[in-house]
Structure 1
Amino acid sequence: MKIAIFENIMTPGGHEVDFDRILVEELTGLGHEVSFYVPEGFRFGMDYHVPAHRLKGEVVTYTGLRGLKKICAAVRREYRRQKWYEQLYREAAARKVDAIIIPTASYRYLRALRKNILKKSPVPIILILHGIRPGDASTILREAEKLLPYPNIKLAALTLAQNIFGKRSDNIYSIVPPAYIPRDIDPPNEITKKETLTIGFFGQYRREKRLEDFLAVFLRGVYTRPVKLIVQGATTRPQDAADFDRIIRKYEGQKNISFLHKGLVGADWQRMIADVDTMLMPYAAERYRYQCSAMLFTAIGFGKPVVVSDEMNPEVFESFHIGETFPGGDMEMLGRTMERFINDYDVNAPGYRAALARAAERYSPKTLAVRLTELMSPHENRGDR
């Protein structure tokens, strides 16, 4: 099939970039012909090595805007989205594509689609919804039901939670998220016993992750083996960058902690993950119960045992003992869990590795691609129920 990916979220790196790469490489691996459709002036976070077609109308961003300017930008973005949809419809009507995937959608995409001729597309349109929380579910369900008369519109909810919508809608399909695997480097070697255990704390720096509290807990720990912590953070807002730099200055004298204030993509990012033994995600927030953590699914794809808050994708840990959890926000319990995890690591590592292998199979990127192609069939299998 000729599969088009409509992307209009412009970012230099991160989850959206890697998720698009999964779609491109796994769908291509199944024998499909993949291309992008993007707005004028769109800049890709990486080279996907597939054709890119430009749609008239530039990307509208909210970055740095407040008040009335932000409202005006939202209006322009909605207008542009309608025009992009119209152009996609013409491509579908001319049978230049056999299916269209919108990789990161929201209820606004559904609302806009309901008002656009694209809803009558002669080819399947699959909108992928990420991180649906209970408060979002009713709004999405309402928009989905309004699109039921249009059989080629299909919503793929990337979720681990069961029955998040409260009731069924025939155009919503639940799909498990994919693991992020090494793609530019050789897979990490089989983990062997090391004198120093290297732990990674990675990802976008945000204050809600409570990095400073975690560092204090880590330094108070009593460990029976040498341990090293690597902290990498990417920042997008000036206030976050300033706060992260302050933390680095405060702790940079600690011999067993190193920092990298830099966003990483591609092979550089993958090598950093591959070079640590374990990964930590001690941040806690209610939304992590519903939003599939890209960092957790990176750990699964790279075979790295974890320490995480019990609010982070609990369904994963109900099925796979891939590390240890602690009550979210409880710094005292985090400290105890860290000590136990580090001191008993060599004993527990074989069990962690076996569980990680099973989880990687369950959440394989190929599984996502196969499921999406099933939804492109006029006789799709509703195996999500």
Structure 2
Amino acid sequence: MRVAILETVKTSGGFEQEFDRLIINELKKQGHEPVLFLPENSTLPVDFKIPIEYMKGGQIVDYEGAGKLKKIWLSIQRERRRINWFNSAYEKACAHDVDAIMLTTATYRYLRSLHKSRLKDSPIPVIFIFLGVNPQEKPKFLEQARKCQSYKNIKLKVTTLRNDFKNDNVLNVELIKPPVLLPEGIKVNPVLSYKEPIRIGFFGHYRKGEKDVDGIIQAFLQCHLDRKAELVIQAAPTSAEDRQDIEGIMAKYDKESSVHFIKHKVYGKDWYDLLQSVDVLFLPYSNTRYLYNWSAVYFNAFALYKPVLATDVLNPEILKEYRVGKEVDLKDLTHLSKQLYEFLHDYKKMLPTYEKELQRINQDFSTESFLRSLLS
């Protein structure tokens, strides 16, 4: 099959493009021919090394650096252009230039645009991929999804670990498993080996009040396992206030040999090399949206064969089904310290179990089965 990826978003963060790359590489692996559909006069920060065909209707609308009022105007402009891009894609579908079209990071707004375009009557499958649907967006999503029920070639695929649609009677919505996310150019050793110190990585942008970095460090130090383990923290602030706060924390623990700080933002391959450099990934997420939206870093960890320390709001279905780490409680630092101690104390004897279970996750959430679910 010749399959088009219609990309309408350009970001500096990179997840959208990494997700596209994963799908493109798997399409090639399974013998398909991927092609990129891109709005006219637009570029992406990555080169997928596949043919590009341009959609009429204007270039990609970029929100970066825009204020609140400008974002409102840009969102209106983006929707108008999206309708034009969809109409252009419809022309290519009618000409049978491709056998299927995918939109890889869709929202309910895409469906709102679809209703106003000719693409809804596409003669070939048009696959919209939604990266989870949270309760706030669900009513809007359902409203738009129900309007699509008469469009015979419009496929709505929601990547999720749970079924929140049991009683909603939306037969055109299909729930599929998300894929493990193996970054390009990163070598993985699926055989886990023990060495000391055990390096625990705690990465991401620092925002004051969002993650209790000071409390987590205290809980770690109270384990009194400094020769056995070390905590590696990325301290990349997002504002001047954040910078002042994290600099105070770094000064406080400056003489702790088992606590190390990375003081800058990391992108691209350097980011994945950083994930690869530790033995365990600590993901202290507290935002309840991760009950509904799967975490890219979590699924990076699985692809890289890293055991995890995670909270009960971070895709809790994983640790209920697979023994790949430990759930931790951030609300009670004494309890957290005990949990960290137990995890580190048992880490060596648990490695064979973690290895076996990580292999199982990589099979159950493989990119091969993910693509089959998309194209079915």
Task: Say yes or no: TM over 0.5.
Answer: yes
Indicate the larger mover: 254-263 or 355-364.
Answer: 254-263
Q: Quote the Cα distance in structure 2 between the aligned partners of 1:348 and 1:324.
A: 11
1:320 partner amino acid: Y
Secondary structure class of the residue paired with 1:344: helix
Q: Quote the Cα distance in structure 2 between the aligned partners of 1:310 and 1:363.
A: 20
The answer to whether 1:263 aligns with 2:249 is no
Query: What's 2:140 paired with?
Result: 139
Alignment of 1:141-180 (within 5 A): 141-164=142-165, 166-180=167-181
Shift of 1:324: 0.3
Q: Quote the Cα distance in structure 2 between the aligned partners of 1:335 and 1:60.
A: 46
Given that 2:235 and 2:246 are in contact with CA atoms closer than 8 Å, whether structure 1 keeps it comes out as no
Alignment of 1:1-385 (within 5 A): 1-56=1-56, 57-164=58-165, 166-188=167-189, 190-207=191-208, 208-223=210-225, 225-232=227-234, 238=239, 242=243, 246=247, 249-250=250-251, 251=253, 253-256=255-258, 257-266=260-269, 268-327=270-329, 329-374=331-376
Identity %: 34
Over 3 Å counting, the alpha-carbon distance change for 1:134 and 1:338 in structure 2 is same
Secondary structure class of the residue paired with 1:229: strand
Q: Quote the Cα distance in structure 2 between the aligned partners of 1:172 and 1:311.
A: 24
Indicate the larger mover: 8-17 or 127-136.
Answer: 8-17
Indicate the larger mover: 324-333 or 16-25.
Answer: 324-333
Q: Quote the Cα distance in structure 2 between the aligned partners of 1:53 and 1:115.
A: 22
Given that 1:134 and 1:165 are in contact with CA atoms closer than 8 Å, whether structure 2 keeps it comes out as no
Over 3 Å counting, the alpha-carbon distance change for 1:190 and 1:182 in structure 2 is farther
Indicate the larger mover: 35-44 or 203-212.
Answer: 203-212
Q: Quote the Cα distance in structure 1 between the aligned partners of 2:226 and 2:61.
A: 53
Aligned residues: 372
Indicate the larger mover: 170-179 or 269-278.
Answer: 269-278
Indicate the larger mover: 337-346 or 257-266.
Answer: 257-266
Q: Quote the Cα distance in structure 1 between the aligned partners of 2:165 and 2:331.
A: 25
Q: Quote the Cα distance in structure 1 between the aligned partners of 2:7 and 2:235.
A: 25
Shift of 1:341: 1.1
Q: Quote the Cα distance in structure 1 between the aligned partners of 2:96 and 2:246.
A: 52
Q: Quote the Cα distance in structure 2 between the aligned partners of 1:15 and 1:121.
A: 28
Q: Quote the Cα distance in structure 1 between the aligned partners of 2:65 and 2:243.
A: 16
Q: Quote the Cα distance in structure 2 between the aligned partners of 1:247 and 1:117.
A: 57
Over 3 Å counting, the alpha-carbon distance change for 1:244 and 1:111 in structure 2 is farther
Secondary structure class of the residue paired with 1:58: coil
Query: What's 1:383 paired with?
Result: none
Q: Quote the Cα distance in structure 1 between the aligned partners of 2:70 and 2:240.
A: 21
Over 3 Å counting, the alpha-carbon distance change for 1:123 and 1:73 in structure 2 is same
Secondary structure class of the residue paired with 1:157: strand
Q: Quote the Cα distance in structure 2 between the aligned partners of 1:19 and 1:277.
A: 24
Secondary structure class of the residue paired with 1:10: coil
Indicate the larger mover: 61-70 or 271-280.
Answer: 61-70
Given that 1:225 and 1:343 are in contact with CA atoms closer than 8 Å, whether structure 2 keeps it comes out as no
Given that 1:308 and 1:326 are in contact with CA atoms closer than 8 Å, whether structure 2 keeps it comes out as yes
Given that 1:196 and 1:225 are in contact with CA atoms closer than 8 Å, whether structure 2 keeps it comes out as yes
Indicate the larger mover: 101-110 or 225-234.
Answer: 225-234
Secondary structure class of the residue paired with 2:137: helix
Q: Quote the Cα distance in structure 2 between the aligned partners of 1:234 and 1:344.
A: 31
1:343 partner amino acid: H
Shift of 1:68: 2.9
Shift of 1:132: 1.1
Secondary structure class of the residue paired with 1:135: coil
Instruction: Give TM-score, length-normalised by structure 2.
Output: 0.91
Q: Quote the Cα distance in structure 1 between the aligned partners of 2:45 and 2:223.
A: 39
Q: Quote the Cα distance in structure 2 between the aligned partners of 1:356 and 1:129.
A: 25
Q: Quote the Cα distance in structure 1 between the aligned partners of 2:363 and 2:261.
A: 33
Question: Which digits, 9 at most, give the CA deviation of each residue in 1:127-151, with x for residues without a partner?
Answer: 1011311232222111111011111
Structure 1, gaps ≥5 residues long: 375-385
Shift of 1:333: 2.5
Secondary structure class of the residue paired with 2:290: helix
Over 3 Å counting, the alpha-carbon distance change for 1:213 and 1:224 in structure 2 is closer
Q: Quote the Cα distance in structure 2 between the aligned partners of 1:223 and 1:69.
A: 52
Q: Quote the Cα distance in structure 1 between the aligned partners of 2:14 and 2:340.
A: 27
1:49 partner amino acid: K
